[in-house]
Structure 1
């Protein structure tokens, strides 16, 4: 029995040494995820969000550019039409002025002839009639010229007056 008690004591001592000297073994579990390291760089999700944001801004800018171009093309077309209208009005005015100059020259020539006839003491009713007709035609041409000028002025004022009426 001494042997048994001696063995028991040796086993107890060995177990005590094992329990104090050795860390108990643990069953390894799943490895914990490493803590994210802050590298100062954005993540993929952040980059995709920024890319989508930039795409939206680009789309908005492209839409604005398209709208500006459409407005510009419309304005250019309006200005071209206005230029054409003004060119036609100028041509009409120039034609009226040319006609007025022609009539005035004819009137001057006729008046000179009438003056010479009166100085000679010869009163020619046909010359007087021609002078009166020429003067009447000159007055009509002047009237047409004045009317064309008034219409051109009114055409320029109409958009301004319409704008004031719509603002009232």
Structure 2
């Protein structure tokens, strides 16, 4: 990009010198005609460079937008995965607590509500584990889909 900017400023400077030369030269001379031709050539080159710079800028902007969108998507996926993992940890902690109480109750005498609490905690832990696994699979699939789309293009 800096090379293009440097070339553009050199061309602009050359155009200015040519313009000044044209202003000082008499009308109709061969020098003036050649300078006019050179000026037009420089203008055409300058216009081409401007179009190329704009094209590069648009391409860069689209790449940045794609990467930004991808980062935002991955951040949202990671946030969802983290939430599921936190839920799983809480559920497992509750299951451990209820299991400890159940173990203590078995040694002292079984109370029916502890068995019910233990079963509920275990079911909740299994549901949380399944949700965490599903979220993790979705995250992995989201990462693989762009790679699978690129795969046929790479083979070409």
Class of the TM-score when normalised by the shorter of the 2 chains: 0.7 to 0.9
Shift of 1:51: 1.6
Say whether 1:158 aligns with 2:124.
no
Tell me the distance in 2 between the aligned counterparts of 1:135 and 1:105. Answer: 11
Tell me the distance in 2 between the aligned counterparts of 1:91 and 1:164. Answer: 28
| Equivalent position of 2:77 in the other structure | 89
Deviation per CA, 1:52-108: give whole Å up to 9, x if none: 111111111111111111112212222222222112111111111111111111111
Say whether 1:128 aligns with 2:115.
yes
| Equivalent position of 2:49 in the other structure | 61
The count of corresponding residues between Structure 1 and Structure 2 is 126
Q: Where do 1:114-125 residues align within 5 Å? A: 114-120=102-108, 122-125=109-112
TM-score by length of 2: 0.74
CA RMSD of aligned residues (A): 1.6
Please list every run of 5 or more consecutive structure 2 residues that lacks an aligned counterpart in the other structure.
Answer: 1-29
Q: State the 4+ residue runs in structure 1 displaced beyond 3 angstroms.
A: none
Question: What's the secondary structure of 2:110's corresponding residue?
Answer: coil
Tell me the distance in 2 between the aligned counterparts of 1:50 and 1:156. Answer: 54
With 70-79 and 138-147 compared, the bigger mean Cα shift is at 70-79
Q: Where do 1:25-44 residues align within 5 Å? A: 43-44=31-32
| Equivalent position of 2:22 in the other structure | none
Structure with greater proportional helix content:
2
Tell me the distance in 1 between the aligned counterparts of 2:133 and 2:34. Answer: 73
Question: What's the secondary structure of 1:123's corresponding residue?
Answer: coil
Question: What's the secondary structure of 2:42's corresponding residue?
Answer: helix
